[in-house]
Amino acid sequence: MKDETFDDTFPFTPNFMEINGFNMHYIDEGKGEPILCHHGMPTWSYLYRNFIMELKKDYRVIAPDAMGFGKSDVPQDKPYLLKQHVDNLTKLILKLDLTELTLIFQDWGGPLSLGFAVDYPERIKRLVIMNTSIGVMKEGSKSWYYRMEKLGKYEKYIKNTGGIIRMGIYNKGKVTPTLLNAYNAPFPRDEYYIGSLAWPKDIPVGNSHPSAKPMIHIRKNLHKLLDKPKILIWGMKDPIFPTWTIDWWNKIYPGIETYKIENASHFLQEDAPELIISLIKDFLNKYP
């Protein structure tokens, strides 16, 4: 898969960096001010292929694959926890010495990107927030996958990558064989699902959860980014993050420029790439 372009829909040179004992894959295209795009689950940098193609004309675009996803290695002996993922991303950004950085993120890309940003706010210039959240569920709360796990269907559901992708794209005409191949390719055998299986369970439920402390740290330090220009772009048909999450972000960052995309779901980058890219380009030009 290292050099796979998926019918030339992902025509970018693969880059790899040894980080914490595994090889992390990342795209690094274009020149100029850096923009880093981070995916969530079960996607990878392929999610941002349209963004990379357009934004690299005027910027340097970096799009990493988290440990266990995309073209990155899938170590079997590491903790697939928030703290580990944030440390991996932090080491990548510091080794690339990225400053004046614009972060674009969605889903688990939110906690990872903001996990870096709150500790290195001096390196951040702008934020583009899409369908994500930061927080710890109350002790005793039932996670979205609780019933699946109780019925013994959790693994089957998570390993149905194509089904998750279809669920998270509102415009079903966008779900092509090439797209499904690109998202299924990182998971050729059972052991490759270790990251996907871990991420839903890493949503902290109660303060005793192993990822509660780092998540609380991020949440308590979001104020360090108050002065950074930011934009909120939201897919309104998302079955994962309810629309009230928009209000939550507006309380965290009062007055944040907000755009609601009615015909877009969880993977809004697939549903409305042209519109989102246009909004981002306008935002970048507004805050040079």
Q: Are 42 and 69 in contact (CB under 8 A)?
A: yes
Confidence at residue 143, expressed as pLDDT on a 0 to 100 scale: 84
DSSP letter string, 246-276: HHHHHHHSTT-EEEEETT--S-HHHHSHHHH
With contact defined as beta carbons under 8 Å apart, do 211 and 204 qualify?
yes
CA angle 280/86/233 to nearest 5° reads 20
DSSP assignment string, 156-179: HHHT-HHHHHHHT-S-GGG--HHH
pLDDT at 145: 86
Contact between 105 and 218 under an 8 Å Cβ cutoff? The reply is no
**121 three-class SS:** helix
Is the whole model's pTM more than 0.85, yes or no? yes
**Chain centre to alpha carbon of residue 159:** 19
pLDDT reported for residue 220: 98
CA distances (Å), origin 119, targets 54, 186, 263: 29, 31, 35
Q: Which CATH number fits domain 15-286: 3.40.50.720, 3.90.1260.10, 3.40.50.1820, 3.40.50.1970?
A: 3.40.50.1820
Mean pLDDT in runs of 10 for the chain (288 residues)?
96 98 98 98 98 98 98 97 98 98 98 98 98 94 86 95 98 98 98 97 95 98 98 97 96 97 98 98 98
